[in-house]
Structure 1
Amino acid sequence: MLLLAGFGDNASMFEALPDTELAERFEVMPLDLPGFGRAAAGETSLSSLAGFVAERAVETGAEIVVAHSVASIVASLAARRPGCPLKTILSLEGNLTADDAYFSGTAADYDSPAAFRAAFLARLDRMAATSPEIARYRREVAQADPRALWELGRDARRFSERHHPGEILRDAAAAVYLYNPDNCPETTLAWLRDHDLPRLLLDNATHWKSVSQPHELARKIGQALESLR
């Protein structure tokens, strides 16, 4: 089971999951995507990251991926690649509509990696005052490669303006959307009402449930996989 962090984050957001019941059933493998965490930066687009994930899936034989936020698009594109063994995507509040790029998409409003990084970290500083999960997230974003952060955000905006991420997710593999409606924009909730993507509620969850409630998330992931049988 591959675990993919969302925009600006890295494998540390999943560090508690290998100590949950998931590890009794699966080899749980958090990945750092290029430019984030300990992975060296390279080309940072949704397509290039999808190629990276597809290669890791082939190497490990992974058939399941848990993908957070914008990484849901990456997982969807990876699963569509010829020869990729990924058959199941569990999307943790992944991007379904353009409005889901509420962090990543703002990169397109800045002309340089440095300008975006400074503005994004300042925004997170304000939010972190009342949220330990965002305080952790801000620390990880600060370690990301600035150009990788900027390029991925700009590409996420372009992609979401030209495509429907939710439809790509639904068509790429067997998929379940795990979410707390309180964390989602209204356009995404409307999309869910109008489409038949299987979904599972995460009660009272922050956007980073793997950090705040790893054992509960592990239980919900198990439920999601059972629902696909």
Structure 2
Amino acid sequence: MTLPTIVLVAGFGDTCSVFEPLLGTKLAQTYNLAAIDLPGFGAPPLAGRTTLERLAEFVDTQARRRGATRVLAHSVASITASLAALRAGSSIDTILSLEGNLTADDAYFSGMAAAFVSPDEFRSAFLVRLGDLARNDVNIERYRSAVEGADAQALWELGVDAHALSAAQTPGDLLAKTQRAVYFYNPANLSAASLAWLQKSTLERICLPGTSHWKCFDQPELLAERIIEKAGTG
């Protein structure tokens, strides 16, 4: 029997390594998990500028090639997945958002880029900040390693673009415009602005108390169960 496919898309500067714990769960027995690296972040960078729209085009293409209707997106990749799903003729009808950006306040890391004019200076400063955070969080240590391997130009350009988009429109509104979206979150991890947005929204959601922003590592079995409950098998 052919399993339905879920395309897995990592967050800002990250690679598909963030999803590795899910490969050992029931989720991998229920779906074909297609973890993809985005251009510049584990895969060769794009020719020209790296933007959310161009990465969305890449995700849309990958989903169509695989006949995938579902995308599991972490953090800022939720914006990318939303834009991909809203492209004409997209095969994506369900976005499973792991604490995706809802408001501008959620651009914890990507928002840093706008303060720098040099890609190399931004990545260096970003790595220093992650190094400080990693002292108390093994998940940040893995993330820092992924960012260290990212293309500096792509990282900076994506951060600047994500900051600009979040200032011009509300990321959560993009997610809500898609055919179907399910938001997985721990309220303790969200900004006050995003909690307020979520309270007013009709967005389908699953609360996962006690989990960090890196749910795939914290409680992969629990996350897998909740995804299966909401993603369906058709």
Identify the match of residue 224 of structure 2 among 209, 218, 225: 218
TM-score by length of 2: 0.94
Identity of aligned residues (%): 51
From 75, 100, 122, the equivalent of 1:116 is 122
- Is the Cα contact below 8 Å between 1:76 and 1:173 reproduced in 2? no
Match of 2:44 among 24, 40, 47: 40
Q: Is the 8 A contact 1:202 1:220 kept in 2?
A: no
1:10-30 Cα distance to aligned partner (Å, 9 max, x none)? 101011212211122211111
Give the structure 2 partner of residue 158 of structure 1. 164
Q: Which residue identity does 2:19 align to in structure 1?
A: F
Q: Following the alignment from structure 2 to structure 1, what is the Cα–Cα distance between the partners of residues 189 and 179?
A: 24
- Picking from 129, 139, 144, the partner of 1:133 is 139
Q: Which residue of 2 aligns with 1:70?
A: 76
Structure 2, unaligned runs of 5 or more = 1-5
Which string of whole-angstrom CA distances, capped at 9 and with x for unpartnered residues, describes residues 92-111 of structure 1? 00011001111101100001
Give unmatched runs, 5+ long, in structure 1.
none
**Correspondence for 1:7:** 12
SS in 2 for 1:44: coil
Quote the RMSD (CA, aligned, Å): 1.4
The 2-side partners of 1:220 and 1:123 are apart by: 32
Question: 1:40 is matched by which residue type in structure 2?
Answer: P
Write the distance in 2 (CA, Å) between the matches of 1:58 and 1:211: 28
CA offsets, 1:63-113, max 9 Å, x none?
Answer: 000000000000000001111100000110001100111110110000110
Distance 2:66 2:23 in 1: 17
Tell me the TM-score normalized by structure 1.
0.96
1:211 deviates by: 2.1
Query: The residue matched to 1:15 in structure 2 has which SS?
Result: helix
SS in 2 for 1:82: coil
Give the Cα–Cα distance (whole angstroms) in 2 for the partners of residues 139 and 173 of structure 1: 35
| Cα deviation 1:204-224 (Å, max 9, x = unaligned) | 111111123221211121223
- Which sits farther off after the overlay, 129-138 or 215-224? 215-224
